Amino acid sequence: MSRWAGKYVIGLTGNIAVGKSVVRKMLEHLGAYGIDADALSHRAMAKGAPAYPLITRAFGDWILDDEGQIDRSRMAKLAFTDPTALERLEAIVHPLVSHAVDLLIRRAKQSVVVIEAIKLIETDLAAGCDTIWVVDATEDMQVSRLMHKRNMSEMAARQRIAAQPPQSLKVRAAKVIIHNDGGFENTWDQVQTAWGKLPKPEEPLLPSPPPLKPGQLAVRRGGPQDADEIARFITRVSHGKKRMTRADVMASFGEKAFLLVERDGKLAGIAGWQVENLVTRIDELYFEAGLPLDQAIPALMEAVEMASAEL
C-alpha cells in the first residue's frame, strides 16, 4: 500500500524521450490526478523558489542567465558531464520535490494519483507507490524525439541518452511496461488495459445533476473516446480549413485536454487547453453557428478555471 491513505499511487518512470508525459496525460484522461515531478523540480529552481539560493551558493552565479534565472541548459550540461555535480543538485532539489508531491497527493480529490518522475526508483518516491509503470521505447525512437522536439543534433541526443542509467534497470523494476514505439492508439490501448486492472479505491457517490432544460448548455471534459466526433466537428465548423482525423485528435490528447460544449445532447463547441509551467492556455476554440456565445464562453471559462485551480 502507498503511504497515502485512500489513494492508489502509480509511479511512472522511464528514461528521456520515451513518452512518459504522454502516458501521464492518458491516465489523467481516465480519471487519475497527475503530478509531474520533473516540472516541480524546475519550479523549485526558479528565482525566489526554495532551491534557488542553495543552487547558486553551491555552483556560483555563472549558471544564471541575463534575467537572473538559473540557466537550465547550463545546469543540464554540468549535471550530465559531472556525476558529483549531479549528486549535489539532486541533494538540494529532491527533498523539496518530495515534500511538494506529498502535499499535492494529500490535497488531490481523485483516488488514483500518477507521479511522473525520471528519477523515481532511484529516490524514496518509489517506496510510497502502489505500483511502478515504466514507459519504454527504442533508442532510435528516443533520438528521433529529441532531435524533433528539442532540436538536438543526433550526437547530442545519443550523448544525453548514454549519460542516463540504463533503461533496462527501470524495466526490471516495473509492474507494468508501456511500449511507446508505435502510434498513439496503440499506446492508448495499453494504458486502458492496465488501467482496467487497477484495484482502484471506491469513489464516493455524488448526487446526480438536475436534468437539463431544452437548449441549456452543458460542458464536459472530452476524452479519447470522443476523438472521432471532435475530428468531424472541427473539420466541419472550420469549413475544411483545419481538416482533422481521429489520429490527429488522438495525438493532440498527448499534449492537451478538450472541453466540449453540448446542447440538447449534441456537440456545439470545443475548447482545447493545456497547462504549462503553471500557466493555463486555451489554444483552440470552435463553435457551432448560432450558439449563444454569451452563455458558452463563460461556461467554458468556468470549467477551465475550475480544472486549473485543481491542478
Tell me the mean pLDDT per 10 residues along the chain, length 311: 86 96 93 93 94 95 94 86 89 95 94 95 92 97 94 93 92 97 91 92 70 92 93 96 93 89 95 80 94 94 85 65
Ramachandran sector of residue 154 (left: φ over 0; alpha: ψ -120 to 50; beta: rest): alpha
pLDDT on residue 183 = 86
Which burial class, exposed, middle or buried, applies to 229 when counting CB atoms under 10 A from its CB (0-12, 13-18, 19+)? middle
Phi, psi (degrees; rounded to nearest 5) at 49:
-85, 165
Q: Is the sign of the CA dihedral 197, 200, 204, 207 positive or negative?
A: negative
pLDDT on residue 277 = 59
CA–CA separation, 254 vs 233, rounded Å?
A: 19
pLDDT on residue 90 = 92
pTM of the model: 0.87
pLDDT on residue 203 = 62
Query: Considering only CA atoms, which of 157, 153, 179, 182 is closest in space to residue 16?
Result: 157
CA–CA separation, 103 vs 115, rounded Å?
A: 13
Taking only the tens place, the pLDDT of each residue in 104-114 is 999 999 999 99
Q: Grid coordinates in use for 68? A: 537572473
Taking only the tens place, the pLDDT of each residue in 81-131 is 888 998 999 999 999 999 999 999 999 999 999 999 999 998 889 999 999
Query: DSSP assignment of 162-176, as one string?
Result: HTSPPHHHHHHH-SE
pLDDT on residue 141 = 95
Half-sphere exposure of 169 (CA within 13 A, CB side): 9
pLDDT on residue 254 = 82
